[in-house]
Chains A and B, each alone.
Chain A
Amino acid sequence: MLNTFDILETIRMIQDECLDIRTITMGISLLDCIDPDIDKACDKVYDKITTKAKDLVRVGQQIEKEYGIPIVNKRISITPIAMLAAACPNGDPVKFALTLQRAADTCGVNFLGGYSALVHKGFSAGDMALIRSIPEALSRTSNVCSSVNVGSTRSGINMDAVKIMGEVVLESAKITADRQCIGPAKLVVFCNAVEDNPFMAGAFHGVGEPDCEIHVGVSGPGVVRSAITKYPDATIDELADVIKKTAFKITRMGQLVGARASKMLGVPFGIVDLSLAPTPAVGDSVAQVLEGMGLEQCGTHGTTAALALLNDAVKKGGVMASSNVGGLSGAFIPVSEDQGMIDAAIAGTLTLEKLEAMTAVCSVGLDMIVVPGDITAETISAIIADEAAIGMVNNKTTAVRLIPAIGMKEGEMLEFGGLLGSGPVMPINTKSPAKFISRGGRIPAPMHSIKN
């Protein structure tokens, strides 16, 4: 039997502590849309997406009503478009991006991810054309997201791709400079990208996945923060226990919503991604969870340890709550999307170097970080290489989503609005890595990649 305390706790989590389902994401394979004629391929892509996902938004809204929990985003992830572009070498890949935008508009989804290429060991047909088209594609669309995987633990890091991605990020910012440099906010450079990630901007539908499936991404930093502030004198292991129990409850909610959505849409249930994803809303901040553990401000000494504890406890609590856990699963640290991180960055407590260390123990990487507009492409590439190296060596996903603020200097702010928030321009190291980046080639896979 339900008791009053449990009922009121759930309602408090939703109403006061910003608990929500961050996203239900439908993964759709486009492998059956490949066609040597790019216009035909685009038609097939449009038809497939709008057929499979026609009820996604409606079902999402119905579940919101039924359970009384907000589902903030309804999204679609698709097969990396480079695989479709490979079949039409003379076509302009931007046509695919425009088709995807049209499909996203028709379905009413918030984001569509998968304008992507996987080049961790090298480029195959279609990859290079797609990567070069990313700035234009992101500039001419508003809801299409792009990602490129440049490294993996098994294959090493493709330094040619790293070099190019530095240029692509910078170019994306330049051609959207009149719109708060929004282009690169929709572009993620990965190492060890996962195939079933429901979170943007890095979502794509891997080739090992079924034709169509439903993933769920949960949220809930506000709930965790509120839970730990109730135990001001708890030891660290007691704190870990509190986080585990809270993560369990949050994830159960995700599991319930995913199972219901999968049944209503007649599509298999993929995974629950148990990520603590912050929003710029007051209290919904991962930085404030860390501060709640006893740090004066996020970014000070001790932050990496606190984040490691949080990341691990979230996984341990969540894993039992769901039959299939996947995606990125852990704590996200996107600077511009987290009020506590923004404050810490403005105060100078949180620096790029500290964030890099934090990415070794969090679920992803350097996320939504605004850098000065006069940054060079080589420096961006070098930041990507550093981050990919952390992922490669530590067997984890890492990513880079940097936004060069064209025409702006340290201390100024970019305002994206909505879930993307706003970010202060953070200082970078200005010594040149150009020679290292210009060498090209591949960083060999580490010793522990040889596992068989």
Chain B
Amino acid sequence: MRAVITVIGKDTVGILHKVSGICARHNANVIEVTQSVLQDMFAMIMMVDISGLSTDFSALSDEMSALGKTEGLAIHCMHEDIFNSMHKI
């Protein structure tokens, strides 16, 4: 089971650190990261393995949303099934 975490917003120091820190605390293993910084906009898509999650998924997603609020970033944490079902036949 995997989840997709997307982070979009103004680039500041330590975004990746904070997001992956939350992942580590919930025992979500980061599999893949693509990231780009265009001018001062930061966009990151992170694929994480959630099969060994130490809490339930909504706790992880709540914490990500809370981080997004304090940092002024749009952070979405969604189960990969939604993308698979929408974009693959």
Contacts and interface: CB of A to CB of B under 8 A. Distances in A.
Interface string B37-70: 0000000010100000000011001100000000
A62 interface: yes
A2 B82 contact: no
B85 A66 contact: no
B78 A67 contact: yes
B13 interface: no
Nearest to A257: B82
Nearest to A3: B87
Nearest to A62: B58
A153 interface: no
Contacts of A7: 4, 6, 45, 83
A252 B83 CA distance: 10
B71 interface: no
B21 to A, nearest CB: 20
Contact of A2 (B61, B76, B77, B87): B87
A252 B77 CA distance: 19
A342 interface: no
Contacts of A66: 57-58, 61, 78-79
Interface stretch (A8-16, A419-427, A436-444): A8-16
Interface residues of A, number: 20
A285 interface: no
B12 interface: no
- Range class of the B interface residue count: 20 to 34
B57 A65 contact: yes
Interface in A7-59: 7-11, 15
B58 A10 contact: no
Contacts of B6: 7-8, 11
Contact of B86 (A4, A10, A15, A62): A10
A295 interface: no
Contacts, number: 58
B61 A256 contact: no
A249 interface: yes
A68 interface: yes
Contacts of B79: 66-68
Given A4-B34, A8-B6, A10-B87, A65 B82 contact: no
Given A6-B87, A62-B58, A249-B87, A67 B82 contact: yes
A119 interface: no
A252 B81 CA distance: 10
A380 interface: no
A252 B82 CA distance: 9
B80 interface: yes
A253 interface: yes
B85 A256 contact: yes
Interface string A67-79: 1110000000000
B82 A253 contact: yes
A298 to B, nearest CB: 28
A172 interface: no
A256 B87 contact: no
B82 A256 contact: yes
A288 interface: no
23 contacts: A2-B47, A2-B80, A2-B84, A4-B45, A6-B83, A7-B45, A7-B83, A10-B86, A11-B76, A62-B58, A66-B79, A67-B79, A67-B81, A68-B76, A68-B77, A68-B82, A69-B78, A69-B82, A249-B86, A252-B86, A253-B86, A256-B81, A256-B82
Please give me the 5 A-B residue pairs with the lowest Cβ-Cβ distance, nearest first.
Answer: A68-B78, A65-B58, A6-B87, A256-B85, A67-B82
Given A7-B4, A253-B86, 11 more contacts: A2-B80, A7-B45, A10-B78, A66-B58, A66-B79, A67-B81, A68-B76, A69-B82, A249-B86, A253-B85, A255-B85
